[in-house]
């Protein structure tokens, strides 16, 4: 049977998983593809390190260049992570005419335009199903299955670590620090979970999806990103009382004028919405197309096996398309949509918790500021006071980010406000 030579750059969590499953399911893949995917070379930082998944010692090298340059390698799989070395590897592979498969969402979010411009110029496809939502085939869905649709919106839980933390805060009443420590102990969070908890891992994925959906590469500076580090068990509790769950949501939309909106932030969503019951490390995405209507994708968004599944799917597609001339080399830019919407013009509803003195006139001062900035209150709860202090928990009607920033500055400056107010966004999935 014809063999296709694969070079693996990276043999960590995902790379080793890819190798393991290529071996385990060799017969199945060969029967389905009519060819064999044969790993010829593997680059790692330390070839002498003991590994849980074993591969022939002679395949290993400490130089990723050896993988790209090996004439027996036809498809290069980048699973090293990081930016500069991975970028150099992908550029070298494309320039050598070798198809690339990668799961590197941070690299694509930052340098996607440059990489796909080069891929198109050289007619060398780059595949990246593993970069968004692990084993869920969302890239294929948006790019191929919904090719006849304008994408109206995407709402996604696309970071497993933060979804685990928020689930434990909601179900077990843990505070943020305890839930994060538990996620690390369980091996879900990275040793350095910064990009997970500050929202940027999800933002990288949202940038990739939005770019595919709207045919223009989204600049990270045009994305509104807020993490979950400032969330408290009190907010989770108040949200529950009000009939909501808090999720780190990626939201991608396009307005009537074709302006694109991409944001990632902790979001109150109605407890009856399907995304509210996506718990633990699972990911889920609701994609709405103008032809297909509402669709839902659910599955494991990270980890060795689900991510390996996505990489192998890309490998299979690459291997069967080696001699086929493709119009789409990973990303097809077009001019059918407009610019990114300025962040200050993004509109949504809000939850606002304000620690205040418990004395007459306080509510009217807060309501006065909101009225003066033209922001309506849709409901309010006030927990039992300790005699001196209490909190106002307000649900606000729609307002722009600029309006709310102005209101927050004025509210924080009020003498009756005793602490940092907590502002969170609310989504009712109506647009
Ligand atoms: P790991 O840190 O587990 O593995 C990285 C691998 O790359 C290791 O084998 C390491 O070698 C090797 N490596 C790193 N730098 C170099 C270098 N300069 N030269 C040669 N080899 C190098 O990462 P993951 O497997 O978790 O992630 C890989 C990629 O997949 C990342 O881009 C990540 O964002 C993405 N991804 C990961 C998911 C996951 O669940 N883990 C999910 C979706 C995407 P050594 O083993 O010697 O240290
Ligand atoms: N850190 C990511 C997550 C891994 O928790 O979802 C998958 O991209």
Nearest to 265 by CA among 142, 158, 133, 109: 158
Nearest to 6 by CA among 127, 106, 132: 127
On the question of pLDDT at 384 being above 90, the answer is: no
Nearest to 113 by CA among 220, 217, 215, 221: 217
Q: Which ligand is nearest to the CA of 68?
A: 1
Phi and psi at residue 113, to the nearest 5°: -60, -50
On the question of pLDDT at 166 being above 70, the answer is: yes
Of 81, 103, 134, 183, the residue with max ligand 2 atoms within 8 A of its CB, to mutate for a pocket test, comes to 134
Q: How much is the pLDDT for 188?
A: 76
By mean pLDDT, which of 162-171, 246-255, 359-368, 380-389 is the weakest? 380-389
User: Strands 377-381 and 389-400, how do they pair?
Assistant: antiparallel
On the question of pLDDT at 431 being above 80, the answer is: no
Residues 6+ apart with CB under 8 A from 166: 179, 228, 231, 236, 246, 247, 248, 266
Q: Which atom number of ligand 2 is nearest to the Cα of residue 188?
A: 5
**What is the SS3 string spanning 118-173?**
HHHHHCCCEECHHHCCCCCCHHHHHHHHCCCCCEEEEEEECCHHHHHHHHHHHHCC
Q: How much is the pLDDT for 54?
A: 96
Residue 205 annotated as catalytic: yes
b/e string for 302-336 if b means 16 or more Cβ within 10 A?
A: bbbebbbbbbbbbbbbbbeeeeeeeeebbbeeeee
d(CA 321, CA 161): 35
Q: What is the CA radius of gyration of the chain?
A: 24
Q: Which ligand is nearest to the CA of 305?
A: 1
Domains by residue range for the chain, with CATH: 3-127+305-321 (3.40.50.720), 138-301 (3.30.360.10), 346-426 (3.30.70.260)
Of 42, 63, 79, the residue with max ligand 1 atoms within 8 A of its CB, to mutate for a pocket test, comes to 79
CA–CA distance from 118 to each of 101, 123, 125, 408, 431 (Å)? 15, 8, 10, 45, 36
| Ligand 1 near 67 CB (within 6 A) | no
Q: How confident is the model at residue 11 (pLDDT cuts 50, 70, 90)?
A: very high
pLDDT tens-digit series, residues 267-306: 999 999 999 999 999 999 999 999 999 999 999 998 999 9
Tell me the mean pLDDT in the region 87-103.
Answer: 98
The dihedral of CA 341, 347, 350, 354: what is its sign? positive
Which protein residue has the closest C-alpha to ligand 2 atom 4? 302
On the question of pLDDT at 318 being above 70, the answer is: yes
| Ligand 1 near 61 CB (within 6 A) | no
Q: Which ligand is nearest to the CA of 188?
A: 2
- HSE, CB side, 13 Å, CA atoms: give it for residue 92: 17
pLDDT tens-digit series, residues 66-75: 999 999 999 9
On the question of pLDDT at 38 being above 70, the answer is: yes
> SS3 for 54?
coil
Q: Which atom number of ligand 2 is nearest to the Cα of residue 307?
A: 7
The distance of Cα 317 from the centroid of its chain, to the nearest Å, equals 23
d(CA 194, CA 161): 11
Q: How much is the pLDDT for 324?
A: 87
Compute the mean pLDDT over every residue in the chain, rounded to the nearest whole number.
96
Beta bridge partners of 262: 223, 252
H-only helix segments in 186-260: 194-197, 200-214, 233-241
Residue of 105, 205, 247, 341 marked catalytic: 205
Q: Which atom number of ligand 1 is nearest to the Cα of residue 303?
A: 40
| Ligand 2 near 250 CB (within 6 A) | no
Which protein residue has the closest C-alpha to ligand 2 atom 7? 302
On the question of pLDDT at 187 being above 90, the answer is: no
| Ligand 1 near 302 CB (within 6 A) | yes
| Ligand 2 near 132 CB (within 6 A) | no
Residues 6+ apart with CB under 8 A from 84: none
Q: How much is the pLDDT for 192?
A: 85
């Amino acid at each position: 049977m014809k063999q296709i030579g694969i070079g693996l750059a990276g043999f960590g969590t995902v790379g080793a998983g890819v190798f393991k499953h290529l071996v385990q399911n060799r017969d199945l893949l060969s029967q389905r593809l009519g060819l064999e995917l044969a790993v010829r070379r593997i680059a790692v930082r330390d070839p002498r390190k003991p590994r849980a998944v074993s591969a022939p010692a002679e395949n290993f090298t400490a130089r990723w260049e050896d993988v790209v340059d090996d004439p027996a390698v036809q498809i290069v799989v980048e699973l090293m992570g990081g930016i500069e070395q991975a970028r150099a590897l992908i550029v070298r592979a494309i320039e050598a005419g070798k198809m690339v498969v990668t799961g590197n969402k941070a690299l694509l979010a930052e340098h996607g335009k440059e990489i796909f411009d080069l891929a198109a110029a050289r007619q060398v496809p780059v595949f990246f199903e593993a970069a968004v939502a692990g084993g869920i085939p969302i890239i294929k869905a948006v790019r191929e299955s919904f090719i006849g649709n304008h994408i109206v919106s995407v709402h996604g839980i696309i970071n497993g670590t933060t979804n685990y933390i928020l689930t434990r805060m909601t179900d077990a009443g843990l505070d943020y620090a305890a839930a994060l420590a538990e996620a690390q102990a369980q091996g879900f969070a990275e040793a350095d979970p910064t990009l997970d908890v500050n929202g940027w891992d999800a933002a990288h994925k949202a940038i990739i999806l939005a770019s595919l959906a709207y045919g223009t590469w989204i600049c990270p500076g045009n994305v509104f990103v807020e993490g979950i580090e400032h969330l408290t068990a009190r907010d989770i509790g108040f949200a529950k009382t009000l009939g909501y769950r808090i999720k780190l949501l990626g939201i991608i939309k396009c307005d009537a004028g074709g302006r694109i909106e991409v944001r990632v932030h902790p979001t109150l969503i109605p407890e009856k919405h399907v995304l509210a019951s996506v718990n633990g490390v699972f990911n889920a995405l609701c994609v709405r197309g103008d032809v297909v209507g509402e669709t839902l994708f659910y599955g494991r968004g990270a980890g060795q096996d689900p991510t390996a599944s996505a990489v192998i799917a890309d490998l299979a597609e690459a291997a069967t398309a080696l001699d086929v001339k493709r119009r789409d080399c990973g990303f097809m830019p077009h001019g059918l949509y407009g610019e990114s919407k300025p962040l200050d013009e993004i509109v949504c509803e809000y939850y606002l918790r304000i620690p205040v003195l418990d004395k007459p006139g306080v509510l009217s001062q807060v309501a006065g500021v909101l009225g003066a900035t033209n922001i309506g209150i849709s409901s309010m709860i006030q927990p039992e006071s300790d005699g001196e202090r209490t909190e106002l928990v307000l649900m606000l009607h729609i307002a722009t980010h600029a309006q709310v920033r102005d209101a927050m500055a004025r509210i924080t400056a009020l003498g009756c406000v005793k602490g940092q107010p907590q502002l969170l966004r609310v989504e009712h999935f109506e647009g």
